[in-house]
C-alpha cells in the first residue's frame, strides 16, 4: 500500500504520478491565524509540554517563534525547517506549496468555534461537487465531528484556558503585532480579518486610565 500522508504537493505527486490537478480536486483547509495559533499554543505548550524553556509563557513562546519565523523567511536557500512544531505554527501559506499551486486548491476555512457549521457545509459541497459518493461524504464528516468531540473531553477547562490566552493576547498590542507580522500573508491570502492593533492599544490605554 502506498503512503498516503505527505508534507508537500510534490512528494505526493511523485508517489502518484498519474494524478493531475485539472482532473481531480485538491482541498486545502485553512484556519484563522489567531485561532490557529492560540489552539496550537494551548495544545503544544500546556498539554504536550513541547515549548521547552518557555513553558506555558505566551510572551516567551511568541517572541521566540517570531524570531524563528523571521530567520526562516530570510533563509537564502529558500528551504523551510520541517518538523512537528513548525508544521503546527509556521504560516499556512508556506505549506502545501501554495505559491505554485494556489489556483488548484479548493480552499475551505476551518473553525472550531462559531464557524464550524459553515465549515462542514463547505466541505460537503466541495466533496459532493467532486462526485464523492454521499455515503463516503457522510463518513468523512462524521469522523471529523467525532475527532473534534474527542479533543473536547475537558471542554470546561479548555474554554477557560482558551479565554485566558485570548485575553492575554488581546491585552498586549506588542504580542498581537508580532502575531500579525508572522501571519500577515495568511490573513491576506485567505481572507481573514486582521486584528486592529490601534484599537487594542486604545482599549489597553483606557483600562490603565480607569485604574488610576
pLDDT tens string 130-149: 899 999 999 999 988 876 65
Cα 177 from Cα 198, distance rounded (Å): 10
β-bridge partners, 28: 107
Helices 155-170, 33-41: axis angle to 10 degrees equals 120
- Does the pLDDT of residue 154 top 60, yes or no? no
The whole-angstrom separation of Cα 53 and Cα 43 is 16
User: Is it the case that residue 153 has pLDDT exceeding 80?
Assistant: no
For residue 82, what pLDDT band results from cuts at 50, 70 and 90? confident
Q: For 9-13, 39-43, 58-62, 117-121, which range has the lowest pLDDT when averaged over its residues?
A: 9-13
Long-range interactions of 124-129: CB distance < 8 A, separation 24+: 126/25, 126/27, 127/25, 127/27, 129/25
> What is the pLDDT averaged over residues 157-164?
90
The predicted structure's pLDDT at residue 164 = 95
pTM for the model stands at 0.85
Res 150 pLDDT > 50: no
Cβ–Cβ < 8 Å for 181, 87: no
The predicted model gives 78-105 an average pLDDT of: 84
Retrieve residue 15's grid coordinates.
Answer: 508517489
Helix (H, G, I), strand (E, B) or coil at 153: coil
Q: What confidence category does residue 108 fall into, taking pLDDT thresholds of 50, 70 and 90?
A: very high
Mean pLDDT of 117-137: 93
Domain residue extents for the chain: 9-211
Distance of CA 133 to the CA centre of its chain: 29
pLDDT > 70: percent of the chain: 90
Q: How far apart are CA 8 and CA 14, in angstroms?
A: 10
Per-residue confidence (pLDDT) for residue 140, from 0 to 100: 93
Amino acid at each position: 500500500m502506498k503512503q498516503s500522508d505527505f508534507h508537500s504537493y510534490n512528494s505526493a505527486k511523485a508517489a502518484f504520478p498519474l494524478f493531475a490537478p485539472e482532473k481531480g480536486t485538491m482541498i486545502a483547509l485553512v484556519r484563522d491565524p489567531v485561532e490557529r495559533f492560540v489552539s496550537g499554543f494551548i495544545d503544544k505548550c500546556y498539554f504536550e509540554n513541547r515549548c521547552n524553556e518557555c513553558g506555558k509563557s505566551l510572551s516567551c513562546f511568541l517572541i521566540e517563534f517570531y524570531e524563528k519565523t523571521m530567520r526562516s523567511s530570510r533563509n537564502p536557500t529558500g528551504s523551510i525547517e520541517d518538523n512537528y512544531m513548525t508544521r503546527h505554527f509556521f504560516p499556512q501559506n508556506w505549506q502545501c506549496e501554495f505559491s505554485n499551486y494556489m489556483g488548484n486548491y479548493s480552499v475551505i476555512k476551518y473553525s472550531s468555534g462559531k464557524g464550524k457549521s459553515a465549515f462542514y457545509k463547505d466541505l460537503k459541497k466541495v466533496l459532493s461537487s467532486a462526485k464523492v459518493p454521499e455515503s463516503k461524504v457522510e463518513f468523512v464528516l462524521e469522523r471529523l465531528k467525532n475527532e473534534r468531540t474527542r479533543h473536547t473531553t475537558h471542554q470546561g477547562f479548555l474554554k477557560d484556558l482558551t479565554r485566558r490566552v485570548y485575553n492575554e493576547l488581546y491585552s498586549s498590542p506588542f504580542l498581537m503585532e508580532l502575531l500579525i507580522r508572522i501571519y500577515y500573508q495568511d490573513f491576506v491570502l485567505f481572507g481573514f480579518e486582521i486584528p486592529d492593533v490601534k484599537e487594542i492599544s486604545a482599549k489597553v490605554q483606557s483600562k490603565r486610565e480607569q485604574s488610576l
